[in-house]
Amino acid sequence: MVQTIQASSLSLFEVEEKFKLQRVFDPDLFLEWQGNLPSVTEPEKQWLDQVKADFLSLEKYPLHEEIIKMAVLSPLLFFAKFFHYPFYPRAEVEVKISAEDGGKVIHGRVDVLVVRQQLWVTVIESKNKDFSLLKAMPQALFYMMSSPTIDKPIFGFVTNGSDFAFIKLLKNNVPQYLLSDEFSLNRQGNELYTVLSILRRLGELVTE
C-alpha cells in the first residue's frame, strides 16, 4: 500500500535522508548572491522602504500567510520582473515525488513557482511570520528536488515575511544544497535592496 506524506510535515533531516541530500558550506559554490549584483534605483528604494514600513506596521497584528505574500512577496516579484516574459509565475502548484525507500509518495503545493520555458527557476515558500526560516527549508528543498532540471542549478527563495534566504541546489550524483546568509527587515537599513538585487541576478542567470 502506498503511503502518502505531506511535504509540509517533513523535517530537514527527513528530506536529507530521503533524497540523499548533503548541505555544503563552500561559499565559492554559491557566488550568485554575492558581489556584482544588479543595482536598485532610488525610486525602487523608496518603494521598498514603504514595503518595509508597511510590513513593520502589519506585524503588530496576527498575520495570515496570504497577507505576507501581498505585502512583501508581490512587490519583490514585480520589481524583479518575474511577472514579465520569459517568466511565468504560477501559484499553489501541486507537486508529487516518490521517495527512494519505496512505497511512499510525498506531495504538497508550491506557494509561488516562477517558471521559464517549463523549467522550474525559483521556488518561493512563505511561512507565517511566527515561524523561523528553518520551517520553510524542508518543503522548499522537496519542491526543488522534484524539478526535472538536472544539468543546471536550481534556486530557491524562502521567507516568513520578515526574514529571507536563498537556496542553491546542485543535482549531482549526490545532490547538494547551499544556503545564503539570512536577510531581515528587523535590522538597521533596508535589506530588501539586497534581496531584490539577488532576485534580479538569478533572473539574469536563467535567461542568459
Closest-CA residue to 166 (of 188, 190, 144): 144
pLDDT tens by residue, 156-204: 888 888 889 999 999 888 899 999 999 999 999 999 999 999 999 998 8
CATH architecture, domain 3-207? Alpha-Beta Complex (3.90)
| Predicted TM-score (pTM) of this structure | 0.85
pLDDT tens by residue, 8-26: 667 888 888 888 899 999 9
Is the peptide bond prior to 86 cis by the omega test (within 30 degrees of 0)? yes
